[in-house]
Structure 1
């Protein structure tokens, strides 16, 4: 319904992890069989695409029944996408909102947060769909955790977005409105209420669980003070300089309470 393209929310350091994750996702997609399949792939290519998704995707039924590796497919599935729209949509949201969350958490913390958010949302979807045998792929669950963190940390940040049904008219609105709308659009009940048919190929529950996880995590662990989000010290941040102090020369001579260095 809306396409965010920019936020007015500067960062204090380069967003190395955010951009690295975007590059990694693009490289993995370009190296797979789906990137250059065309609009109407033949049967042989389609079979290779399905084999690729099943090999690297996370299959809910297998995650819960104890067969196979319970960790590796959850990780690889975060970097596999089912098409260009799937990839570009995810990377756009990560590009717009990921850098500020990385700035608050720090690089190593943000990377761990991203991976854990993707893993937890994948298992949440598996628990909600224990008999599903289709492959779950994409970075949506991890990025949903980033969105949940962002809406808590920066609810009033101004986000520029395009509105397709208004001929892509650019608008600037607060982040809570953009991401709040995104969140409710992931709820099947809301989709039915407004008469929008949700895609059966989209793991909406993974989006919802990732978003809630990210929001609760930063609310409980990071917090937000009156002047903005708290920032935890991290290994990649330079140490803070010691505070400047002005020496008190008055104590040097009791007979001269103001001191000869008084200004």
Structure 2
């Protein structure tokens, strides 16, 4: 089960969101295309990933920023860019281009720092935009808790697309990050769950001033938690239900 789109159109072109997606794709193409040599690829990772142990020793400050433009594989990149495309345009629409860019980077910083704190001497590099994108999702939850998000559900031979409120999508996602983060502390793992948690909370908190300017709870009362403009209507999914032949 994963989101594929929302019903919340933006009222202006999200230049920053498009630029962030383009940069991430370009860096990925460079990392896995131009750097064919293993040594060069490893050096690239050493120079631009976020290494907690280097950061603890007063080094690796470049990676604190650049890690959010690196990815560990195509599916890692594709998943992150999908989430940024779904939720980023609306946050940019509400904040403005430059404030959104600053918000995005600060969310990435918060995500990396929260991931760093539990094990400051970790030698596992951190890469990916998911911490910064988690901040976008946290802000989206505060501003549009009932915006419709289309979910693609696949279960063995059953698959459907159907809309559910964003507070369910994002709330369940956040709960899974906490649950998996607690498990990873005990069993290890390759996903930076606490970066997701840290970025999400940071994005939520940084959006509070905007929410207050909109009227806080009164804003929710006016919109009932939905976007303050007409929602996009998509045609009902015609994906068939495949049944086994008897």
Q: TM-score, normalised by structure 1?
A: 0.75
Structure 1 runs not aligned, ≥5 long: 38-43, 230-263
Corresponding residue to 1:173 among 139, 151, 164 = 164
CA deviation vs aligned residue, 1:78-116 (integer Å, no higher than 9, x gap): 101010011000000000011001111110000000001
Query: Which has the higher relative contact order, 1 or 2, with Cα contacts under 8 A spaced 6 or more apart?
Result: 2
Q: Which residue of 1 aligns with 2:73?
A: 83
Counterpart mapping for 1:88-167 below 5 A? 88-165=78-155, 167=158
Query: What is the alpha-carbon distance in structure 1 between the residues aligned to residue 76 and residue 180 of structure 2?
Result: 23
Give yes or no for the alignment of 1:62 onto 2:54.
yes
Q: Summarize the Cα distance change of 1:77–1:12 in structure 2 as closer, same or farther, 3 Å threshold.
A: same
Give the whole-Å Cα distance in 2 for the aligned partners of 1:123 and 1:51.
Answer: 23
Conservation of the 8 A alpha-carbon contact between 2:50 and 2:60: no
Question: Partner of 2:3: helix, strand, or coil?
Answer: strand
Is 1:203 aligned with 2:198?
no
Number of residue pairs matched by the alignment? 215
In 1, are the aligned partners of 2:142 and 2:211 still within 8 Å (CA)? no
CA distance in 2, matches of 1:58, 1:112: 19
Q: Would the aligned equivalents of 1:29 and 1:35 in 2 still touch at CA under 8 Å?
A: no
Unaligned runs of 5+ residues in structure 2 are 226-246
- How far residue 73 of structure 1 moved from its aligned partner, in angstroms, is 1.3
Kindly name which structure, 1 or 2, has the bigger radius of gyration based on alpha carbons: 1
Q: What displacement does 1:128 show?
A: 1.8
CA deviations on 1:40-69 (whole Å, 9 max, x unpaired) are xxxx63x54433222210101111221x25
Equivalent-residue separation in structure 2 for 1:168 and 1:54 (angstroms): 41
Judging by fraction of residues, say which structure has more helix: 2
Structure 1 segments, 4+ long, off by >6 Å, are 34-37
TM-score, normalising length: structure 2: 0.80
